[in-house]
Amino acid sequence: MELTLAQLAGQLGVELRGDGEVRVSAAAPLQSAHTGTLSFLANPRYRRHLKTTQASAVVLAEQDAGDSPVPVLVSDNPYACYARAVALLYPQETVSAGIHASAMVHPEANIDATARVDAGAVVAAGVQIGPAVQIGPGCVVGEGVVIGQDSRLVASVTVLAGAQIGRRVILHPGVVIGSDGFGMALDKGAWLKVPQLGSVQIGDDVDIGANTTVDRGALQDTVIEAGVKIDNQVQVGHNVFIGAHTAIAGCVGISGSTRIGRHCTLAGGVGLVGHVEIADNVHITAMSMVTRSIHEAGTYSAGTPLTKNTLWRRNAVRIKQLDTLARRVSDLENKL
Amino acid sequence: MELTLAQLAGQLGVELRGDGEVRVSAAAPLQSAHTGTLSFLANPRYRRHLKTTQASAVVLAEQDAGDSPVPVLVSDNPYACYARAVALLYPQETVSAGIHASAMVHPEANIDATARVDAGAVVAAGVQIGPAVQIGPGCVVGEGVVIGQDSRLVASVTVLAGAQIGRRVILHPGVVIGSDGFGMALDKGAWLKVPQLGSVQIGDDVDIGANTTVDRGALQDTVIEAGVKIDNQVQVGHNVFIGAHTAIAGCVGISGSTRIGRHCTLAGGVGLVGHVEIADNVHITAMSMVTRSIHEAGTYSAGTPLTKNTLWRRNAVRIKQLDTLARRVSDLENKL
Amino acid sequence: MELTLAQLAGQLGVELRGDGEVRVSAAAPLQSAHTGTLSFLANPRYRRHLKTTQASAVVLAEQDAGDSPVPVLVSDNPYACYARAVALLYPQETVSAGIHASAMVHPEANIDATARVDAGAVVAAGVQIGPAVQIGPGCVVGEGVVIGQDSRLVASVTVLAGAQIGRRVILHPGVVIGSDGFGMALDKGAWLKVPQLGSVQIGDDVDIGANTTVDRGALQDTVIEAGVKIDNQVQVGHNVFIGAHTAIAGCVGISGSTRIGRHCTLAGGVGLVGHVEIADNVHITAMSMVTRSIHEAGTYSAGTPLTKNTLWRRNAVRIKQLDTLARRVSDLENKL
């Protein structure tokens, strides 16, 4: 959609510096923008591209506004402002409601007249699908699942019996909600399956990335609070609790019964053992292993730095000897 | 199902301490149990909840039995006993046999009359499906696959041509069995695909978690022995062998031609390089990297502990210098 | 297919040492080969099996040829030669063209008459499917997707709107192409979704393993160049660029906007943070974390070696104290 900068600034509620009659109809990165596009600067890594941008306008923080060769939308949060501007420039197409002829919907499912169920989707008995929900092609929705207004199962999503999905939730392709947790008792050398009787509760405004899995609880429910954002290929074990507005990047693994606070961030590849508690506002850097509860807000890390393989081999041997080395240093100190 | 404690104790073959007429019909954790529920104590982390539990009965080990405020089922393995009790309290619903009208079953597939094939499932030619097998909605079963009695493909499972699945196997949603292994030869700078001619053999009583992948063998088969339990998002490479009753937690990656013994446990996020052998009764702790064969039973670990990010940054620099540091210590020792 | 060694050598363009009339019709590993099979030696780990092999012929490098008890196909690249030989011995079955009666193909999709669309597949409007393409059972192909000649979506693959797939591409089951990238702006404590407007471009001869995910770009496209091979359960973030002929093993995670050169290899479980650049011919060993750009070709590593758990516990404590230890060593040096 084409908008003037004056219209954009008005709708976004931000200050415009420059010609309000200039028109934009698309978004582009600073370095490849051209006439008619809106750009933004949020990551300082890309600041060098500002001076030479061909964009028709840029969303900037106050301190960068003076460096722009083109009109500026001034925001104290340029990235969020840009996100809103893009939502205005690219309004989501309204999809038509209705159930595709090839969808397999159980007669006892309750589907709002404004919802859409796409080709090849399977919807079981007792399902409740709210207004404007989209069930994409190839999705499977199990018995008694409840899906709130405006939520979207993009395609090839599997939600098993009893899960409760809030409003405005997005489940990307390959997501599995409500699979059995990994509960087993060792019995004379063999593993005995422990029936998984809980379910999954997903709050409003949760996004769950492609091929992420969220297990049902063993006795009580696995809970993901409102506003949580989860990237692709994340594993959420049974009875995990994830507090509101926590963001979890790709390939994270969260073991059973672990409790994560609100407003936390887990970077890519982080792993948490089971039965630990993470306080609110905790940030864990990439590929760290969390083996204990964290009671204090802050940023935590583990892992070893990348080096050339030849150096790594020499250092890795020393890691095995580290306790001995520390004792040798103590001996030296005692001798001196 | 409601049972008296006397009935439960009888069917489980364990000692009851307390009133045999008390009735239970559900299971619950110690801390949130209420009248009519059975609870258990297996993880010492939760012992503090025993004294105040509102459960009607608890499964306990002998040494904890005296601390219970309510009737006790005494077991030398409370978690396994509890698992069996739950299976009695929550008997699995028998699903009706038959092939859903929307299932796409090849006329040359051989499906037992007591099996069930759900909506939207695709079953290819030459498939053999045993008694009481369940093929859930959206599953794809390739040519010549054999699935043994009482096995269950929950939903959205893909089993490619030729795989052999034992009895009482559970494959959770998103599982892929028999995809091509990552076999490639480098030829003048480009990768040449090596045809993957083997298949996959899965023994009885194997569980495979959501979105886990098991590749077919290059020449011989990938083999998962009986009783193996695999969690979600695990990758099993071509020609891997996993010995009976080994348990593998989420996000583990096992590279090609690696051989894992029996009764092993791999914790979450463990990675094994290819062509190594792991003895029986080996336990690897979370997120460890295994680069060599392990010939001796025991527990093995790798990885660095989580600390505040500021401390980690200082230490990480030192890891790069560790070999130098060790040499400096040797120099000091020589000088002294 | 049965071939004489003379025929094989001729078609492969390699030297035969031994009886050209000997016939082979299958392939097998050295140690389990039998009459009528062709074997090979590429990994020195298996050299010990050469002397006693029961194969009818072996593909070997010049330096090993003298050790063979059976006829030899001599190649300076035995593994590539073997791969080609296997392709001759096991010619791919030609699958019949056509659209299965149960496939849900939009009338505005453009499907070449020589392509095949299997049972239960869903193909949206505006899709262009080239000659001899196979869309396997249960696949979902979104609006406007283009798939080049001879490509194959094995089964249960999801390709979302607008993705461009080259020729001879193989997408294994559970692959998701074009899911939204993990783009969010923090706005007063809540995460605001940033619309993901780019798409995905996949070059010719790319293989993508089971349950791997490739996100669409935020503004520009995510790009995978020709000849790239990706294993199972890999996560490729938005706007990632992967240069031609790079190979990526299982469970790798690549964060958004990271740029990987050509002819690189990433071993299993490697993780890369976002916005870094990796030069051509860089090799990263298993489970390493990459947090900075790499400008020089070579092999790089991170991680700690596996030890018995008791030793690891002692050493792990010392890692936390490493900076302090280094300072103590400096103090000692100053004192001496």
CATH number of the domain residue A172 falls in: 2.160.10.10
Contacts of C323 in chain A (CB under 8 A): none
Minimal Cα–Cα distance from B111 to chain C, Å? 18
Q: Are residues A188 and A272 in the same domain?
A: yes
Closest chain C CA to residue B290 = C306
B253 vs C245: CB contact, 8 Å cut-off? Answer: no
Is the alpha carbon torsion for A308, A310, A314, A319 positive or negative?
positive
Residue A242 within a domain: yes
Closest chain C CA to residue B314 = C323
pLDDT of residue B122: 98
What are the residues facing C45 on neighbouring strands? none
A154 vs C160: CB contact, 8 Å cut-off? Answer: yes
Q: Are residues A317 and A292 in the same domain?
A: no
Residue A305 within a domain: no
Percent of chain B's residues with pLDDT above 70: 100
Q: Are residues B26 and B160 in the same domain?
A: no
C210 vs B253: CB contact, 8 Å cut-off? Answer: no
Q: Are residues B209 and B312 in the same domain?
A: no
**Cβ burial B86-100 (10 Å sphere, 16+ → b, else e):** beebeeeeeeebebb
Q: Are residues C80 and C111 in the same domain?
A: no
Q: Are residues C216 and C289 in the same domain?
A: yes
CA–CA separation, C25 and C14 (whole Å)? 18
Instruction: List for chain A the helix, strand, coil content (%; round to 5).
Output: 20, 30, 55
Instruction: Calculate the average pLDDT of chain B.
Output: 97
Contacts of C321 in chain B (CB under 8 A): 315
Minimal Cα–Cα distance from C88 to chain B, Å? 10
Closest chain C CA to residue B213 = C210
Which of A117, A123, A192 to probe the B interface (max B CBs under 10 A)?
A: A192
Whether residue B30 contacts residue B41, with contact meaning beta carbons closer than 8 Å, is answered with yes
Strands C170-171 and C152-153: what pairing?
A: parallel
Minimal Cα–Cα distance from A293 to chain B, Å? 11
Q: Are residues B286 and B324 in the same domain?
A: no
Does the ipTM surpass 0.90?
yes
Q: Write the residue in A79, A87, A155 that is nearest to C195 by C-beta.
A: A87
Rg of chain A, C-alpha, whole Å: 25
Question: What phi-psi label fits residue A218: left (phi over 0), alpha (psi between -120 and 50 degrees) or beta?
Answer: alpha
A182 vs B229: CB contact, 8 Å cut-off? Answer: yes
Whether residue C198 contacts residue C180, with contact meaning beta carbons closer than 8 Å, is answered with no
Read off the pLDDT of residues B10-67 as tens digits, 9 standing for 90 and up. Answer: 999 999 999 999 999 999 999 999 999 999 998 888 999 999 999 999 999 999 999 9
Minimal Cα–Cα distance from A126 to chain C, Å? 24
Amino acid at B302: A
Q: Write the residue in B210, B321, B326 that is nearest to A213 by C-beta.
A: B210
**Cβ burial C94-107 (10 Å sphere, 16+ → b, else e):** eeebebbebbbbbe
Q: Are residues A60 and A206 in the same domain?
A: no
Contacts of A316 in chain C (CB under 8 A): 301, 303-305
Q: Identify the CATH number of the domain in which residue B34 sits.
A: 3.40.1390.10
Q: Are residues A45 and A165 in the same domain?
A: no
Chains that touch A (3 or more CB pairs under 8 A): B, C
Confidence band for B212, pLDDT divided at 50, 70 and 90: very high
Which of C211, C214, C281, C288 to probe the A interface (max A CBs under 10 A)?
A: C288
Q: Give average pLDDT by consecutive 10-residue segment, chain A, 336 residues.
A: 96 97 95 95 91 96 94 96 95 91 97 98 98 98 98 98 98 98 96 96 98 96 98 98 98 98 98 97 98 98 97 97 96 92
Query: Residue C94 has which token pair?
Result: 């030609």
Contacts of A189 in chain B (CB under 8 A): 245, 263
Q: Write the residue in B80, B209, B233 that is nearest to A192 by C-beta.
A: B80
Q: Are residues C195 and C238 in the same domain?
A: yes
Q: Are residues B179 and B288 in the same domain?
A: yes
Read off the pLDDT of residues C86-96 as tens digits, 9 standing for 90 and up. Answer: 999 999 888 89
Amino acid at B85: A
Residue B320 has pLDDT above 90, yes or no: yes
pLDDT of residue B94: 83
From B89, B119, B139, give the residue that closes a domain: B89
Residue B97 within a domain: no
Residue B94 within a domain: no
Question: What phi-psi label fits residue C239: left (phi over 0), alpha (psi between -120 and 50 degrees) or beta?
Answer: left
CA C40 to each of CA B155, B276, C43, C87, C258: distance values in angstroms, whole numbers, following the listed order: 40, 20, 9, 14, 38
Contacts of A100 in chain B (CB under 8 A): none
Residue B123 within a domain: yes
Minimal Cα–Cα distance from B292 to chain A, Å? 14
Strands A72-74 and A15-17: what pairing?
A: antiparallel
pLDDT of residue C43: 87
Residue B66 within a domain: yes
Contacts of A301 in chain B (CB under 8 A): 306-309, 312-313, 316
Minimal Cα–Cα distance from B139 to chain A, Å? 10
What are the residues facing A117 on neighbouring strands? A99, A135
Q: Write the residue in A233, A312, A333 that is nearest to C332 by C-beta.
A: A333
Query: Residue A209 has which token pair?
Result: 């990335």
What does residue B65 show for φ and ψ, rounded to 5 degrees?
-60, -35
What are the residues facing B248 on neighbouring strands? B230, B266
Percent of chain B's residues with pLDDT above 90: 97
Residues of chain C scoring pLDDT < 50: none
Residue A148 within a domain: yes
Q: Which of C104, C127, C108, C117 is nearest to C178 (CA)?
A: C127
End-to-end CA distance of chain A: 77
Contacts of A179 in chain B (CB under 8 A): 154, 172-173, 209-210, 232
Q: Are residues C131 and C36 in the same domain?
A: no
**Which domain, by its residues, includes B164?**
104-300
Residues of B known to be catalytic? 238
**Residue C96: DSSP 8-state:** P
Active-site pick, A49, A100, A238, A263: A238
Active-site pick, C49, C100, C172, C238: C238
From A89, A119, A134, give the residue that closes a domain: A89
Q: Write the residue in A184, A220, A288 that is nearest to B229 by C-beta.
A: A184
Contacts of C329 in chain B (CB under 8 A): 325, 328-329, 332
CA–CA separation, C208 and C158 (whole Å)? 12
- If one counts the domains in chain C, the total is 3
pLDDT of residue C92: 85
Contacts of B45 in chain A (CB under 8 A): 275
Read off the pLDDT of residues C228-256 as tens digits, 9 standing for 90 and up. Answer: 999 999 999 999 999 999 999 999 999 99
CA A228 to each of CA A167, A174, B233, C38, C235: distance values in angstroms, whole numbers, following the listed order: 13, 18, 21, 55, 20
What does residue A17 show for φ and ψ, rounded to 5 degrees?
-115, 110
Read off the pLDDT of residues C46-66 as tens digits, 9 standing for 90 and up. Answer: 999 999 999 999 999 999 999
Residue A138 within a domain: yes
Q: Write the residue in B211, B301, B318 that is nearest to C174 by C-beta.
A: B211
pLDDT of residue C45: 86
pLDDT of residue A85: 96
Minimal Cα–Cα distance from A63 to chain B, Å? 28
B251 vs A235: CB contact, 8 Å cut-off? Answer: yes
From A66, A89, A112, give the residue that closes a domain: A89
DSSP notation for B276-296: -EE-TTEEE-TT-EE-S-B-S
Q: Write the residue in C174, C205, C229 that is nearest to B176 by C-beta.
A: C174
Chains that touch C (3 or more CB pairs under 8 A): A, B
